[in-house]
Copies of this chain bind each other. A is one copy, B any other.
Amino acid sequence: MPANATSAALELFDHHRDTLERAVQAIAERGYWSPFPESLRQYPEEAVMGAQAEFEALLGRHFALAGPQPIGRSGAERSPYGFELGVTYDQYDTDELLERQQKALPGWRDAGARARVGACLEILQRLNALSPALAHAVMHTTGQAFMMAFQAGGAHAQDRGLEALAYAWRAMAEVPETACWIKPQGKQDPLLLDKRWHIVPRGLSLVIACSTFPTWNTYPGLFASLATGNPVLVKAHPGAILPVAMSVKVAQEVLGELGFDPALVSLVVDTPEAPVAQRLALDPRVRLVDFTGSNAFGEWLEQHARQAQVFTEKAGINTLIIDSTHDLKAVAKNLAFSLSLYSGQMCTTTQAIYVPRDGIRNGDEQLSFDQVADTLASAINGLLSDNDRACAVLGAIQSEATAARIADCRALGEVLLDSEVREHPQFPGARVRTPLLLKVDASDRAAYAQERFGPIAFVIATDDSAHSLRVAREVIAEKGAMTLGVYSTDAAFLYQAESLARDVAVALSVNFDGGVFVNQSAAFSDFHATGGNPAANASITDGAFVSRRFVTVQSRRPAVLSWERADDLL
């Protein structure tokens, strides 16, 4: 493989080395850090001003990418804000595409860790520059409101990509490149071997993107695999192809400019009628699968893609336990935002809220269950009373199925707050819905202990807080959860909550009543999912997320050593 490509990529490694080193420091400390600004004001004015036009110029056209000879075209994305995107993408013969990536693998592998990481760092920087335009593409595929699409789909996704890259780099750098092995033999000459170690990728990596976070949930697997030497097939969700295609294009440009085969990162598109993920995931050449999406398909992958290392983020019953509060209004305000943000379509949004049926202590007062439920409902109403603000928080519902689910779920409990259809100020055709809040009894497990994706939450009456803990433990152990929020003023209860979190391996957020929300997960600090309960078999990003993407191959041969050097080394 092109020595020129390698040396150009090594220059990029040197160029971006400070960022990489800071990222490695960040994953070791896990305090706050982000290299990619989340404020539009920190991006060049022309990029921000021109972003919408840049996005619109892509609509109604074919989106070209590098790859083998196309055999067809596909693409039928419709914005949740009510219009067709009209973008088409190439489809390839699977076998030809996989062969092409297989052929490119040795060159990419042999370029070495530094060169690969250098190229990845450059890709991330260019993705960051593209953030304003990407935001429109994310908005009009996922339904996220613009600012969220800009932040979560742009800087935060890039943060997650860099975080995975830092983990991959650290894991590779922990394997020495060479060593001299000198084993003393008493009075005889020592045994000498020269050894070297190669980082060897698993094979082809399939990253299956989702429709709600097509960049945020895709970049970690993409960069972890690519950095460790695995060519990557990104299979976009048919409803959210464009932001993935734009991302793949950036990767292909960097790879191509360096002299590598741009098809080392390739886009795969399909249709709901003729899905390809299942077939690809079972291909013997595919050795890594990253997936975000439904439990059904995630579990299918875990069961069937036996030739591959499979990393899944599925769904669970995100849980909140209210035991006691100092200021329920502040709590309710926090929860109202959390439940409304992106209409509850985050994999971290709370679904099950346990409250003792006899109510809770709030500061000096005792509040009944209904008072707690009403305070929460009122807070949601308050947050969403201004329609413009409501639309900026809610965004739009990504799929018709989610909108239909809201209606289907109304009968599952007593309606505390009904979901409303709202009209978007700019996009009259947008699918905007406010949260549905239902009251159920802890015994109604069939209602609340099943994932109800979308703006649907249950306030669940329990015998007492100990009962809340018990039910939450059972439900999370069986169904999993990405998040557990707990409100209590009692240190002993919080200790029990911490034990629960450890026992069922779920991330815990305690007494959030300010400007941080249980459904937020910050790169370089928060581990997203633990990988230890049924909601996900992997964490974004920990050591296990990267260490299984490569193996180490050693080579050793007898060394001839001058005695001077031996003396130095012994």
A194 to B516, CA, bound (A): 12
Decide: B552 and A510 in contact? CB cutoff 8 A. no
Interface CB pairs A-B, < 8 A, 25: A31-B182, A32-B184, A106-B502, A106-B503, A110-B502, A174-B543, A181-B525, A195-B526, A200-B530, A501-B553, A507-B555, A508-B554, A508-B555, A509-B557, A510-B555, A510-B557, A511-B558, A512-B558, A526-B556, A527-B552, A542-B547, A542-B551, A543-B543, A547-B548, A548-B548
- Apart from A110-B502, A498-B555, A507-B553: 11 A-B pairs, beta carbons within 8 A: A30-B195, A185-B515, A191-B516, A509-B556, A510-B558, A516-B558, A530-B553, A532-B553, A539-B551, A542-B552, A543-B547
Find the residue from A29, A202, A508 having the highest chain B CB count within 10 A: A508
Question: Is A193 interfacial (CB-CB < 8 Å)?
Answer: yes
Question: Is A109 interfacial (CB-CB < 8 Å)?
Answer: yes
* CB under 8 Å from chain B, chain A span 288-317: 302-303, 306
Q: Among B32, B501, B551, which residue has its beta carbon within 8 angstroms of that of A531?
A: B551
A511 to B556, CA, bound (A): 9
Give A contacts to B, CB under 8 Å. 28-32, 106, 109-110, 170-171, 174-176, 179-185, 191, 193, 195, 197-198, 200, 202, 302-303, 306, 498-499, 501-503, 505-516, 522, 525-527, 530-532, 539, 542-544, 547-548, 551-558, 569
Which B residue's beta carbon lies closest to that of A494?
Answer: B557
Find the residue from A106, A170, A502, A527 having the highest chain B CB count within 10 A: A502
Q: Nearest Cβ in chain B — how far from A38, in angstroms? A: 10
Q: Nearest Cβ in chain B — how far from A4, in angstroms? A: 20
List 5 A-B pairs, minimum CB-CB distance, nearest first.
A532-B551, A510-B557, A543-B547, A544-B547, A508-B555
A197 cross-chain contacts in B, Cβ below 8 A: 30, 527
Decide: A180 and B31 in contact? CB cutoff 8 A. yes
Decide: B183 and A558 in contact? CB cutoff 8 A. no
Decide: A557 and B200 in contact? CB cutoff 8 A. no
A198 cross-chain contacts in B, Cβ below 8 A: 501-502
Q: Nearest Cβ in chain B — how far from A401, in angstroms? A: 29
A30 to B558, CA, bound (A): 16
A558 cross-chain contacts in B, Cβ below 8 A: 510-514, 516
A558 to B544, CA, bound (A): 28
A30 cross-chain contacts in B, Cβ below 8 A: 176, 179, 181, 195, 197
Decide: A181 and B532 in contact? CB cutoff 8 A. no
A302 to B306, CA, bound (A): 8
A511 cross-chain contacts in B, Cβ below 8 A: 557-558
A525 cross-chain contacts in B, Cβ below 8 A: 179, 181, 195
A184 to B554, CA, bound (A): 46
* Known contacts A515-B185, A530-B200, A532-B200, A29 near B179 by CB under 8 Å: yes
Decide: A32 and B181 in contact? CB cutoff 8 A. yes
* Known contacts A527-B554, A553-B506, A28 near B543 by CB under 8 Å: no
Which B residue's beta carbon lies closest to that of A551?
Answer: B532
A31 to B568, CA, bound (A): 13
A509 cross-chain contacts in B, Cβ below 8 A: 555-557
Decide: A553 and B502 in contact? CB cutoff 8 A. yes
Decide: B514 and A191 in contact? CB cutoff 8 A. yes
A30 to B552, CA, bound (A): 13
Which B residue's beta carbon lies closest to that of A499?
Answer: B106
Decide: B106 and A532 in contact? CB cutoff 8 A. no
A557 cross-chain contacts in B, Cβ below 8 A: 509-512
A515 to B547, CA, bound (A): 34
Decide: B181 and A31 in contact? CB cutoff 8 A. yes
A28 cross-chain contacts in B, Cβ below 8 A: 174, 176
Q: Nearest Cβ in chain B — how far from A201, in angstroms? A: 9
A553 cross-chain contacts in B, Cβ below 8 A: 501-502, 505-508, 530, 532
Decide: A507 and B554 in contact? CB cutoff 8 A. yes
Decide: B547 and A200 in contact? CB cutoff 8 A. no
Which B residue's beta carbon lies closest to that of A306?
Answer: B303
A543 cross-chain contacts in B, Cβ below 8 A: 171, 174, 543, 547
Q: Nearest Cβ in chain B — how far from A65, in angstroms? A: 28
A512 cross-chain contacts in B, Cβ below 8 A: 557-558
A384 to B552, CA, bound (A): 36
Q: Nearest Cβ in chain B — how far from A74, in angstroms? A: 34
Decide: A556 and B109 in contact? CB cutoff 8 A. no
Q: Among B106, B542, B551, which residue has its beta carbon within 8 angstroms of that of A530?
A: B551
Which B residue's beta carbon lies closest to that of A555?
Answer: B508
